[in-house]
Structure 1
Amino acid sequence: MKNRLKVLFFVLFSGLMISPASGQGQLIRFVNRVLNDTSSAATSKLLIFPTAGFAPETSVEVGLRAFSLFYAKKDTTVNRLSEIVLYSFVTFKGQFGALLENAAYTHKNRYFFLGRAKYQQFPLLFYGIGPGTPSANPALVNSHYVQVRQRILRQVNRNWYAGIEADFQSLGRVTFEPDERNHFELPLGGNGSTTVGLGAAVVYDDRKNVLNVRKGHFLETGILWYRPGFGSDFRYRSLVLDGRLYRPLGRLNRVLALQLAGTFMTGDIPFNNLGLIGGESLMRGYYLGRYRDKNVLAGQAELRWLPFGFSRRWGGTVFAGLGTVAPTVGSFQANQLRWAAGGGLRFLFFQKKDIFLRADLGVTREGTGFYISLGEAF
């Protein structure tokens, strides 16, 4: 993530700033209970901790991140682990935002709710559209952005799910800096847009723990139509494919994870809805949106030691990925592939739930990105 650093500060470090000895003692005991949690896997967990970061376009950023982990009816024998994540932040320049993500299963995994809701008044860097955009002098885009995307899926045959999905996105109060109209042509949707898409999705999922998969498969195919009749300013179609494979290698603590993902769009698409490369999940090391276009194709592989053979709670990973964007499916070119690679450390945070805290450093030809989160990248 170019020129951007984001770090999580846990209560362990916050305790050093509390002056009363009794307060420090209580906080240390609390931290010890969190880091040495041995409660049963069925117990619901809520983890809340502060975050901080810095970027030139935002100055200092502070926020809170909360994870809720649970099994429906506290039944770990037939139900899969569900996750709800809430992240909110403000910056010293008065910008703010919030993100709510969910991957939740009902009892006996009959229904699967997968989605996100997002609001931000937060700048993004726009490098242009296409695989050959320069890395220097991106435009700074200020806006108010809202997205609500949700899939409601019904189990149709053991690990197969099918259902409906909807996507609402709104971009308003848009300004480009510098806004030199004679030298910079605004992209489609550059004055703001509202898009509404409705469609269907099919998912195959036999993973038991979505935050740390040791063996299994995941395949998602989803298609959305955006139409003026739905309330959309633009007419286009979006097809998303996401396939993942997880295999243990010899000992149970070693896992090979593979992912191949693609986004394929046709029609008139506003710039903020185009397919993206980068971020904390796919092509780590690139700024999210460094490359964007109607079509995206990317893959990554990751070798995980969870944990290391010589440790009970510490582990690590190495990963590498390739990806590119193109205006049409037929115009993908091998010489426009971009690479990303890196590694990270893992700490077994919830012992009974087999969930690790991750810290990853991604390296690209254009710079590096540093990410900290709970659970694996994919």
Structure 2
Amino acid sequence: MKKSTYTTVIQQIIRYVLFLHFLIPSTHAQQLKENWVKRYVNSIINDTTHAEQATLTIYPTFATSPETGIELGASIMKLFYAEGDTLNRLSELQAFTFFTFKGQYGLVLENAIYGDQDKWFFLGETKIQQFPLLYYGIGPNTPKHHPASVNSFNILFRQRVLRKISRNLFLGPEVDYQLISGVRFDQPSEGDPYPIPAGGEGTSNLGMGMALVYDDRHNVLNVRKGRFGEVAYLRNFDGFASDYNFGTLNVEFRSFHPIGKRDVLAWQIKGNFLQGEVPFNQLAQLGGDRLMRGYYLGRFRDKHAIAAQVEYRILPFAFSKRLGASVFAAAGAVAPHFNAFEARNIKGTAGVGLRYLLFPKKDIYIRFDIGFTKEGANFYIFNGEAF
């Protein structure tokens, strides 16, 4: 057979193989892809892994809040027990990236890692964001109309490295680094312009200190029983990796009480107290999707803030395996000095929510909350409880 004939035969064979590979099995390949997606979704929703096995879950996310509008993204979550021992606490590592139709985007990393027999506890978060927000000014009685818009690039890194000193009690250093750059204040078209606050042209600050933490929760993702408390003091020194000289005292306490087989009563008290010249982005704030739901994030900000909330969760309803609900209320205030808190400046919020059990084995819910205030209502969709 001539060489050209061999070449022709080989070419025909290659064409035939390609035809079989790309054309004939195309429907089958699509079916395989669809089946794989179905199997993956089923593996998430109906987790069949053993309790002691580490799990890595990747899933798309959808959220909405008054700060972001519609938010699309993806989340990677790893859950594991130290040494594969379920007598240890469940540790969580989560990476979340998002973008919104308001031009916001970012990456959020969260960790709550418990060592074997709780000898070590690593608790922290990292945020890298391009995140325009509304700015209402500083103080307890800022007007709700005509806010400025602040567009900036932000980095927040907060990490605690804690050592167990007795049962459920941890002590260790804490680091807090915050950067805001490329700041652009867009003044409102109506009303008086806002004075540019400290840090309004960009700033970076490194705070270092100590944290004392009490924690007897076994599962931080959806706490049904337990308590968490923290007292931390951080200091920023002008000229030592910081542009401003100020101190921060953070105090927080959370408590969770099971009611019957499904319900949970949860409450939280939180205080932030700062001294010195503080950049506006690190002032104590009220509002957002976690505490004082219904108010815009940073609707009120000042050097001191105290807030508390209570929530009753039905997880899930008695007639459903996946649907649940909640009712919540909160109150808080900001002030320029600790002795300047006044009852007339206390702001209140209340709301209701629906819950959908997304991952039964991991007891993780999607929450749909609506918070009501004197200034109106805001709607939130997020994975996991507010606190």
TM bucket, shorter chain: 0.7 to 0.9
1:348 to 344, 357, 382: 357
The Cα shift of 1:36 comes to 2.0
Q: In the TM superposition, what whole-angstrom CA distance separates every residue of 1:309-352 from its partner, at most 9, and x where no partner exists?
A: 22233222111111111111111111111111112222333333
Structure 1 contact 277–289 (Cα < 8 Å) conserved? yes
> Is 2:48 aligned against 1:34?
no
Residues 204 and 220 in structure 1, CA contact (< 8 A), matched pair in contact too? yes
Could you tell me how far 1:60 is from its partner in structure 2?
A: 6.3
Residues 363 and 205 from structure 1, CA distance in 2 versus in 1: closer, same or farther, beyond 3 angstroms? same
TM-score (norm 2): 0.86
Match of 2:220 in 1: 210
In the alignment, structure 1 residue 194 sits paired with structure 2 residue 219: no
Determine if the alignment matches structure 1 residue 366 to structure 2 residue 375.
Answer: yes
Q: 1:151–1:201: 8 Å Cα contact kept in structure 2?
A: yes
Aligned residue runs from structure 1 range 14-53, under 5 A = 20=30, 23-52=33-62
From the superposition, tell whether residues 292 and 102 of structure 1 become closer, same or farther in structure 2 (CA, over 3 Å): same
Structure 1 residue 33 displacement after superposition: 2.8
The SS at the match of 1:228 is coil
> Could you say if the C-alpha distance between residues 375 and 311 of structure 1 is closer, same or farther in structure 2, counting changes exceeding 3 Å?
same
Distance 1:334 1:179, change over 3 A: closer
Distance change >3 Å, CA 346–CA 94, structure 1 → 2: closer
Match of 1:337 in 2: 346
Tell me, yes or no, if the aligned pair for 2:64 and 2:381 is still in contact at 8 Å. Answer: no
The code of the aligned residue for 1:157 comes to S
Matches within 5 A, 1:210-249: 210-249=220-259
- CA 102–171 in structure 1, closer or farther in 2 if over 3 Å, else same: same
Q: Secondary structure at the match of 2:261?
A: strand
Say whether residues 1:118 and 2:127 are aligned partners.
Answer: yes
* 1:172 and 2:181 correspond: yes
Q: What corresponds to 1:15 in structure 2?
A: none
Correspondence 1:321 to 2:330: yes
Say which SS state the counterpart of residue 138 (structure 2) adopts: coil
Judged with a 3 Å threshold, the aligned counterparts in structure 2 of structure 1 residues 372 and 183 are, in CA distance, closer, same or farther, namely: closer
Do the aligned partners of residues 57 and 66 (structure 1) sit closer, same or farther apart at CA in structure 2, a change above 3 Å counting?
Answer: same
Q: 1:59 to 1:355 in 2, by over 3 A?
A: closer
Specify the SS of the correspondent of 2:137. coil
**CA separation of 1:56 and 1:294: change in aligned 2, threshold 3 A:** closer
The CA deviation string for residues 20-61 of structure 1, in whole angstroms up to 9 with x for no partner, is 555444433432332222333223222323345678997865
Gaps of 5+ in 2: 1-28
SS in 2 for 1:190: coil
177 and 71 in structure 1: CA distance in 2 versus 1, 3 angstrom threshold: same
SS state at 2:143 partner = coil
How many angstroms apart in 1 are the aligned matches of 2:158 and 2:301?
Answer: 20
SS at match of 2:262: strand
Q: 1:59 and 1:376 mapped to 2: Cα distance?
A: 19
Q: Is the 8 A contact 1:38 1:351 kept in 2?
A: no
Structure 1 residue 103 corresponds to structure 2 residue 112: yes
Paired residue secondary structure (2:117): helix
Kindly indicate whether the alpha-carbon contact (under 8 Å) linking 1:315 and 1:346 is maintained by their aligned counterparts in 2: yes
Distance 1:208 1:59, change over 3 A: closer
CA distance in 2, matches of 1:245, 1:188: 36
SS of 2:41's equivalent in the other structure is helix
**Separation in 2, partners of 1:297, 1:339:** 12
Give the drift of 1:94.
5.4
The CA deviation at 1:194 is 1.3
- 2:153 matched to 1:144? yes
CA contact (8 A) 2:176 2:208 kept: yes
Cα offset for 1:214?
1.8
Matches of 2:255 and 2:64 in 1, distance apart?
A: 35
Letter in 1 for 2:120: Y
Q: Is the 8 A contact 1:41 1:353 kept in 2?
A: no
Number of residue pairs aligned between Structure 1 and Structure 2: 358
Q: Shift in Å at residue 229 of structure 1?
A: 4.6
* CA deviation string 1:65-116 (max 9, x = no partner): 2222222222111x11111221212345754321111111111111111111
How far apart are 1:210 and its partner, in Å? 1.1
Q: 1:367 to 1:21 in 2, by over 3 A?
A: farther
